[in-house]
Amino acid sequence: MNALGNDSKLMCMQLNQGDNDPQAFISSQPELQQAKYRPLANVLAPPSPSSGWRQMTRAAQMACQAAVALMRESGLSFFSFSQGCDIGMLQAFNPNIHGPKIRSLLMQKNHRFISPLFFTNFAPNSVSDHVSRLLGIHAFNYTITNGGTSSLETLGMAGQALQNGRAQGILAGGVQEASEEFVHGFAFGGKSGGAIQVWQAGAITVGEGCAWLFLEKEGAIKARQAKPRAWLLGYGMRFAPADAGSGTQAAVLAAVQQALQAAKSAPESIGSVFVAANGDGEQDLAEALALRKVFGNVLPPAVALKGALGETHFASGAMAVVAAILCLEAQCIPATQSLAQGKAAELLGLSSQARTVSARRALVLSVEHPGQAAAVVLEVA
């Protein structure tokens, strides 16, 4: 689910011209009030007169609606599982709140004015709380807050939890709301020379959205006579604390190698790559150099989805996996929107034209610059 359509640049430009509320901006844009977004806008509860809180944030709305859409499209009902085999949930979520703001609120008012979103792993009224109550999640319920690699990490952790028998099925994914803190936080600090055009020098174009996937072991899928969309073959994650460029390059290289090894896949078996490039020259170049070390001079067809969707940060990995499955099913890699000219785009092998692919296996990347990366290898069923 992408509540902003494909025009994240417009939102970033508008919001950084003044101290505006993202919700007010979204509500003012007719093109953003189409069918995909309108259900969120219409049911977003007004703030409580006594506390100023909203019962459900836009992140919670997106997460709940995306979860229901997953169930509806797949014909999946969590109540169809036996009572002895519970469903677990792993979710990536960015509260977008920094320490100074919490301290300021405490000093100006009192603890009752602190949003439960500050404490996402256990608080009532958090995104994970809403989704778990909506779906009746009875097994574990974890929120991962580890930057841009978070939602790919939920998939890796879900795979491990399934192998360890902790649940019969696991809902995994991520959500990112374009809050004021998030939008303004990416308005500066980027390096020039990225693979994606940005709305102003030094900025990174952001977006928002949510993606969920439901993971089961092969035996459980066969037992309920379900049809899988794809197989998660391998996962890798690495943190490489070093100077910005070399640390990110080392992290991407290690994560990709780990994912390929876990999938028992040679680089030649990968038919397409969904890169994490977001327009930051330093990050994009580091990712490109790492991939060149893996694939050599001939990279599989690659696409940078953030050229269209923006940097959806905590949701980006899960959104890329969903997009990869759909693209592999259609045997087509889409064009990279807002493609920039330069070394990073050239080394990544990005194209402004859609390309046909026949291979069923893809590599999906997430990068948190500097020095952190995650990767998954998947294959369409």
What confidence tens digit (pLDDT) does each residue in 305-351 have?
Answer: 998 888 999 999 999 999 999 999 999 999 998 889 889 999 999 99
pLDDT of residue 13: 59
Output the pLDDT for position 15.
52
Superfamily for 8-223? Answer: Thiolase/Chalcone synthase (3.40.47.10)
Q: Which of 12-26, 245-259, 294-308 has the lowest mean pLDDT?
A: 12-26
CA–CA distance, 36 with 14 (Å, rounded to integer): 21
Angle (CA) 162 164 167, round 5°: 45
Q: Are strands 141-144 and 87-93 parallel, antiparallel or unpaired?
A: parallel
Q: What is the pLDDT of residue 134?
A: 79
Tell which wins on pLDDT, 113 or 343. Answer: 343
pLDDT band per the 50, 70, 90 thresholds, residue 284? very high
Residue 14: pLDDT over 70: no
More confident residue, 377 or 142: 377
Residue by residue, DSSP assigns 353-377 as: S-EE----EEEEEEEETTTEEEEEE
Category of 325 on φ-ψ map: left (φ > 0), alpha (ψ -120 to 50) or beta: alpha
Report the amino acid identity of residue 27: S
Lowest-pLDDT range of 121-130, 221-230, 253-262, 270-279: 121-130
pLDDT at 53: 47
Q: How many CA atoms lie within 13 A of 280 on its CB side?
A: 23
Q: Rg of the chain over CA atoms, in angstroms?
A: 20
Top-confidence residue, 108 or 267: 267
Peptide bond into 370 cis (omega under 30): yes
For residue 8, what pLDDT band results from cuts at 50, 70 and 90?
Answer: low
57 near 117, Cβ under 8 Å?
A: yes
Per-residue pLDDT at 117 exceeds 60: no
pLDDT given for residue 345 in this prediction: 92
pLDDT above 70 as % of the chain = 71
Reported as a pLDDT band with limits 50, 70 and 90, residue 34 is very low
In whole numbers, what is the pLDDT of the chain averaged over residues?
A: 77
- The per-residue pLDDT for range 142-194, each reduced to its tens digit, is 888 888 899 999 999 999 888 888 888 888 999 988 776 677 778 777 788 88
What's the pLDDT score for residue 39? 36
230-380 fold: Peroxisomal Thiolase; Chain A, domain 1 (3.40.47)
pTM above 0.85, yes or no: no
Q: Which residues pair with 364 in a beta bridge?
A: 274, 376
pLDDT digits (tens, 9 = 90+) for 86-109: 677 888 876 654 444 444 544 454
Which pLDDT score is estimated for 294? 96
**Which residue intervals of the chain bear CATH 3.40.47.10?**
8-223, 230-380
pLDDT recorded at residue 80: 47
Strands (E), 112-177: 141-144, 169-176
